Amino acid sequence: MRNIKLVLEYDGTNYNGWQIQPNLPTVQATLENALTKLTKTPIQIIGAGRTDSGVHAEGQVANFHTTSEMPPTAFQKGLNATMPKDIVVCSATEVSPEFHARFSATSRRYRYTILNREYPSALSRQTSYFFPAEIGVKQVNDLCQILVGKHDFSSFQKMGSDRKNPVCEIYEIHWRKKDPYVYFEIEADSFLRGMVRAITGTVLTFNRKFLLASGGKNMKYPDADTQLRRILEAKDRAAAGMSAPAHGLSLICVKYSI
């Protein structure tokens, strides 16, 4: 059996997430159907991250095992020729039998894109979240450093999730502005379901407090650090803020040591 690694890009707008669900369109199901037709044998594919409904990817990684003798480039070209245009295989390579897209990963990096101006966009409405209030990039950047490190992130986990261990280690959090967008990037060893969107929404709630406390000048809210620590320590989703919409989120890369 050969082990083939794929790097994928997709627009998640028309899909109910990555993972196969009965009678619903998903990225995994679309990919498996295309591979089965291409190889004429049933194929099961493993994804590095189970992106939610409406979430996009620029660097999703997947792997599958096959007895097919097709060269990797043939898999790439064949899949791109048969799948919908909103899913693209960026690369296909043969890897060691031990490689596992999910369990071999050392970290994943997500980007949340915010359109930060007074009017929305007709062109980026499916890939960015329109947020007209000014974002204090330095203030939210400083605040988020509290989350860096190993913590129990239960307060930012989607209700009803079945993950038993809510501890993740965040390696880096960074907010940056490139008009008219603000980008929030976060890298961790793993993520809870809905975690990035919950952090984004909670931080944007604090951003509103910055504006109110400073009369619109977006200076730091005095108790922000204490309040965010309390949210983290509460280990209760109800303690945190809203979840930002799915369409602003994208899985941008997955890193491996093998």
Q: Which residues of 151-189 are buried (b: 16+ CB within 10 A; e: fewer)?
A: bbbbbbbeeeeeeeebebebeebebeeeeeebbbbbbbe
Instruction: Give Cβ neighbours of residue 155 (< 8 Å, ≥ 6 apart).
Output: 198, 231, 232, 234, 235, 236, 237, 239, 240
258 pLDDT higher than 80: no
- Identical fold, 2-95 and 105-256: yes
How does pLDDT run across 176-210, given as a tens digit for each residue?
999 999 999 999 999 999 999 999 999 999 887 77
pTM (two decimals): 0.94
Q: Which amino acid is at 5?
A: K
Domain boundaries defined on the chain: 2-95, 105-256
105-256: what fold? Alpha-Beta Plaits (3.30.70)
Task: List the catalytic residues.
Answer: 52
- The CATH number of the structural domain formed by 2-95 is 3.30.70.580
How does pLDDT run across 39-80, given as a tens digit for each residue?
999 999 999 999 999 999 999 999 999 999 999 999 999 999
Please say whether the beta carbons of 178 and 104 come within 8 A. no
Query: For residue 21, what is the DSSP state?
Result: B
Question: pLDDT confidence of 217, banded at 50, 70, 90?
Answer: low
Rounded percentage of the chain residues whose pLDDT exceeds 70? 96
Indicate the average pLDDT of the chain.
Answer: 94
| β-pairing verdict for 105-115 and 129-130 | parallel
pLDDT of residue 206: 86
